[in-house]
Amino acid sequence: MEYEVQPGSLDAPYRDNPNLDSPLARAALPILDRLHEQLADDPVSTMITDRNGVVLSRKVSHEGLTTNLNRVHLAPGHVFAERYVGTNGIGTALASGRPVVIAGMEHYVEALRDFHCAAVPILHPTRRTLLGAFNLTTIRQGSDGMLMAFARSVAAQIEAEIAAITSRRERALFQDYMEACSSVRPGPVLALNRDVVMMNEQLSVAVTGPDHYALLDHAREIADHSRLEGTRSIALPSGRVAELRVSRCRREDSDAGAVFRVRLIGRPQPTPAVSAAPARFNLGLVGSSPHWLRAVAESETAFVARTWLHLLGEAGVGKRTLVEALHRAHGAGRRLEMTEAPPSDSPAVTER
């Protein structure tokens, strides 16, 4: 009701080109293929969705069920988040973070009330972040307990396969890291991906404090782009330059991260790189990452100059805290007002 979903009509938006190269999809698709063969002509459909409720894959061999699913657009590319179709297996499992069975009349939209659905959230094995959901849909009325047990079992298989893929990637990265460290003249070596960071003692001794955070920030940005290789130079807060020789770890049919051979040029300078610190301390903020300090300094400059400021970042990185700190320091008695934008996946609505 809060999302103004209409029970009498179904509106599941369509998203072009759903991402089938994610860790979830790579792990789940072979499992769904095997299930498809085992279920044969049973009137049961298996699906995986991403964390936003976009159906990535659907397997079903029963002609009647296929027709019914197509009728309600329960097919790859369509979004079944609660904000669009109300209570349903996929959307409610993702919204609650718990396994759910939504049967018949429990669906909010009338067009879905012929279905029985069991859905289980799928979490990253180490970070425990939400990756998506596994969903079973049938038109048979039967044991909800058996349907849920089956869904839990398949979801557990998918999570185990994601863990295995992650482990293989980390082992591959570790092997490349060890090869770099055992070369004739290894020097400082760093290896990382989104889950792990490895560095040898030479690097940990040579790069400390703000230089350490700056180096990791830049290395993470490079590692996130699988096509970035070769030699790159970055300026460190101390005044030194770090020359990074980047090599990708491409094993296990995927990009497992990057290995950096580091060469430090110059000597630390006594005065630079601390100019942003007074502003940070005056604002009562914490954090020493060079990217964060630069964001604080540039935001403060814009605020004091009364120019437009547009802050972008993931939830929880400190945007609201930064704005409140700027207002306390420079608001001069003016009132700070906050307005929540209406929830929407539409870029036009977000921009407005």
Query: What homologous superfamily does CATH list for 23-165?
Result: GAF domain (3.30.450.40)
| pLDDT, tens only, 107-163 | 999 999 999 999 999 998 877 889 999 999 998 777 788 899 999 999 999 999 998
Delimiting residues of CATH 3.30.450.40 domain(s) in the chain = 23-165
Q: Given this model, what pLDDT does residue 270 score?
A: 62
Which own/partner pairs from 87-92 qualify as long-range (CB within 8 Å, at least 24 positions apart)? 88/112, 88/117, 89/117, 89/118, 89/119, 89/135, 89/136, 89/137, 90/47, 90/49, 90/53, 90/55, 90/117, 90/119, 90/133, 90/135, 91/53, 92/119
Task: Map residue 117 onto helix, strand or coil.
Answer: strand
* Distance in angstroms (rounded) separating the CA atoms of residues 277 and 80: 47
Residues facing 350 on adjacent strands = none
| pLDDT, tens only, 295-325 | 888 888 788 878 888 888 877 788 888 999 8
Tokens 């089938």, residue located: 20
- Do 25 and 57 touch, CB atoms closer than 8 A? yes
Per-residue pLDDT at 282 exceeds 90 = no
* Distance in angstroms (rounded) separating the CA atoms of residues 101 and 116: 7
How are the residues of the chain apportioned to helix, strand and coil, as percentages rounded to the nearest 5?
40, 20, 40
What is the band of 5 on the pLDDT scale with cuts at 50, 70, 90?
very high
